């Protein structure tokens, strides 16, 4: 009976300390991200964007000016409370990144956009990267574009989106060719 008594004592002691132990709680479901604003909502935001960032947006004719303006818009978008203006800032930064041939800016803009709005991140990033003109890219920027496209292909494969993965691989193949890296182009093609 001493074993039974010891077991009963252990159970009671454990139950007494159970109140002190942390418990697992179910977290509430996170709210769904909002959809991007409608074109009607963007009309006033466009005017505010043009006024607020007039200096930065006036130098976007060159690649360096477009990259600088995109960086300015991305930094300001972090603090912007108004959804329509935030969407425009991120969308304009993405567009300027593509126009300047910067895969990094495009990726940052799309990542921030998908964190705030309900968008298809992979499709939007691939579409934006595909807008980058390959011909004026030097080998370093073409390599960064190819690497970004390969990351999209890998993520699309993981998500079971074969067509998107194939499109991303095709873009990576073309970018590796532009970079002059035939070994990487062959690797992507297989």
Spatial distance between the Cα atoms of 167 and 41, rounded to a whole number of angstroms: 32
Question: Domain boundaries in the chain?
Answer: 39-119, 136-190
- Listed in sequence order, the residues at least 6 apart from 182 whose beta carbon sits closer than 8 Å to its beta carbon are 176
Spatial distance between the Cα atoms of 87 and 115, rounded to a whole number of angstroms: 11
As a whole number, mean pLDDT of residues 7-11 equals: 67
* Residue pLDDT, tens place only, 24-38: 655 455 568 889 998
As a whole number, mean pLDDT of residues 31-53 equals: 88
Average pLDDT, the chain: 89
* Residue pLDDT, tens place only, 87-110: 999 999 999 999 999 999 999 999
Residue linked to tokens 């108004």: 82
* Residue pLDDT, tens place only, 126-155: 999 999 999 999 999 999 999 999 999 999
CB contact at 8 A, 96 and 128: no
Please state the pTM of the whole predicted model. 0.79
HEC assignment per residue over 26-58: CCCCCCCCCCCCCHHHHHHHHHHHHHHCHHHHC
């Amino acid at each position: 009976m001493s074993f039974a008594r010891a077991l009963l004592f252990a159970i009671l002691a454990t139950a007494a300390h159970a109140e002190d132990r942390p418990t697992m709680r179910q977290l509430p479901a996170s709210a769904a991200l909002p959809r991007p604003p409608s074109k009607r909502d963007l009309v006033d935001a466009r005017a505010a964007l043009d006024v607020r960032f007039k200096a930065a947006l006036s130098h976007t004719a060159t690649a360096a000016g477009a990259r600088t303006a995109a960086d300015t818009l991305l930094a300001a978008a972090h603090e912007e409370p108004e959804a329509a203006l935030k969407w425009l800032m991120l969308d304009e930064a993405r567009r300027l990144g593509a126009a300047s041939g910067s895969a990094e800016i495009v990726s940052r803009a799309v990542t921030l956009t998908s964190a705030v709005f309900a968008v298809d991140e992979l499709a939007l990033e691939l579409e934006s990267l595909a807008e980058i003109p390959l011909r004026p890219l030097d080998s370093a920027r073409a390599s960064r574009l190819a690497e970004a496209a390969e990351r999209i292909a890998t993520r699309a494969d993981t998500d079971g989106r074969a067509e998107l993965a194939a499109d991303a691989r095709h873009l990576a193949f073309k970018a590796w060719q532009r970079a002059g890296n035939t070994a990487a182009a062959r690797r992507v093609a297989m």
